[in-house]
Amino acid sequence: MQRQFIYTALPARVVFGVGALAQLPAELDRLGAKRALLLSTPEQSEAVRQVAAALGSRAAGVYDKAAMHVPIEIAEDARRVARELQADVGITVGGGSTTGLGKAIALTSGLPVIAVPTTYSGSEMTTIWGISEGETKKTGRDPKVLPKTVIYDPELTLDLPASVSAASGMNAIAHCVEALYAHDGNPIVSLMAEEGIRALAASLPKIIIQGSDVEARTAALYGSWLAGCTISTTSVALHHKLCHVLGGFGLPHAETHSIVLPHVMQYNRDAAPEAMRCVARAIEAVDGPRGVYELEMRLDLPMKLADIGMKQPDLERAARIAAEAPYPNPRKVEYAPVLELLRHAYEGRRP
């Protein structure tokens, strides 16, 4: 029997497909925007300047200092630039870091954002913002930061390096997995989650062999859109909590998600059997947690927290922080088993 649920849809407009970036001027027209501030990381400065050049006089300026986890100094600097340029829209060209900067500007000014994602983070579909100050990261949900339009153009992802593609794709799969067992999940989100995992698990192995495979890139972007949709209205659980905590230890975002995911799934295995069955079906594996682990091995991803900068003595502190103020999770979050989970992730043990 279907359990009770509440479903909230967010007002999202998605323009999807090879060559979709050509729709950007029309999307500016829809918003009545005439002075765009374009945002990127320093690494994508050239790409964003090409987009700006194509917009001509409607590009009021480029700010290319976006950085991981949106440091407060950068957010404030970008807000100042947006004010000085009298920008009436922000256009983000990049991954979750750049989308996050656009959201940080929107949070205090209401500046509408058009997101052009170039990774699989899914941030562009969510109302979740994050700003870091020193070692702590504040996050929240606010409808103001949700991009007005998202333009998914697979051509912009052809140069995304194999390792970033794989890790970012697993970050998206993690969104889907947690949506499948979210305490406030619902059947529509579960459909999107399973389909998102299916699309990503089928396309990522092809992408790491040939990054210019447009069909695989298109499928991965489709999967990441679905993944973003899944966490846009459901709560995240132990996995995202742990990754948030580990981010505070300076670990890289997408790789941390990838390493931790099979171990959190193992932790939740008996408490969320239907979710595990969905994942196994989507990745065509016999077992969900082991199947995800094996997929990551095929993608040549780092498999141990030890290999991405985690220090063994910090495991206990991380487990304590995660267990102190846990998010709702299918299995009770307790210090000792969470520490064991982290030790397995530290060693990269097969679930």
The answer to whether 101 and 113 have CB atoms below 8 angstroms apart is: no
Closer CB to ligand NAD, residue 83 or residue 141? 141
Minimal distance, residue 10 CB to ligand NAD, in Å? 12
Q: Does 168 bind ligand NAD (CB under 6 A)?
A: yes
Minimal distance, residue 334 CB to ligand NAD, in Å? 26
Q: Does 190 bind ligand NAD (CB under 6 A)?
A: no
Q: Does 160 bind ligand NAD (CB under 6 A)?
A: yes
Q: Does 186 bind ligand NAD (CB under 6 A)?
A: no
Closer CB to ligand NAD, residue 160 or residue 193? 160
Beta strand 128-133 with 113-117 is unpaired
Minimal distance, residue 235 CB to ligand NAD, in Å? 13
Find the part of the chain contacting ligand NAD (CB under 6 A) among 73-81, 115-123, 297-305, 329-337.
115-123
Q: Which of 15, 87, 156, 292 binds ligand NAD (CB under 6 A)?
A: 156
Beta strand 36-39 with 89-94 is parallel
Distance CA 179, CA 192 (A): 9
Minimal distance, residue 43 CB to ligand NAD, in Å? 4
Q: Which of 58, 69, 148, 344 binds ligand NAD (CB under 6 A)?
A: 69
How many other β-carbons are positioned within 10 Å of the β-carbon of residue 138?
A: 11
The answer to whether 171 and 120 have CB atoms below 8 angstroms apart is: yes
Which parts of 39-68 interact with ligand NAD (CB under 6 A)? 41, 43-44, 68
Distance CA 52, CA 142 (A): 28
Q: Does 126 bind ligand NAD (CB under 6 A)?
A: yes
The residues, ordered by sequence, that sit 6+ positions from 29 with a Cβ below 8 Å of its Cβ are none
Q: Which of 71, 90, 102, 122 binds ligand NAD (CB under 6 A)?
A: 122
Which parts of 276-315 interact with ligand NAD (CB under 6 A)? none
Q: Does 196 bind ligand NAD (CB under 6 A)?
A: no
What are 150's two structure tokens?
A: 């998202």
133 φ, ψ (degrees, to nearest 5)? -135, 110
Minimal distance, residue 133 CB to ligand NAD, in Å? 14
Distance CA 288, CA 295 (A): 10
Q: Does 100 bind ligand NAD (CB under 6 A)?
A: yes
Q: Does 329 bind ligand NAD (CB under 6 A)?
A: no
- CA-nearest of 76, 238, 257 to 164 is 257
Q: Which of 123, 149, 190, 224 binds ligand NAD (CB under 6 A)?
A: 123
Minimal distance, residue 287 CB to ligand NAD, in Å? 26
Closer CB to ligand NAD, residue 36 or residue 101? 101
Task: Report how many residues bind ligand NAD under the rule CB under 6 A.
Answer: 28
Q: Does 260 bind ligand NAD (CB under 6 A)?
A: no
- CA-nearest of 86, 94, 283, 69 to 176 is 283
Q: Does 92 bind ligand NAD (CB under 6 A)?
A: no
Minimal distance, residue 156 CB to ligand NAD, in Å? 6
Q: Does 169 bind ligand NAD (CB under 6 A)?
A: no
Kindly list the residues in this chain that would bind ligand NAD in the complex (CB under 6 A). 41, 43-44, 68-69, 94-98, 100, 118-119, 121-123, 126, 128, 130, 156-157, 159-160, 164, 168, 171, 253-254
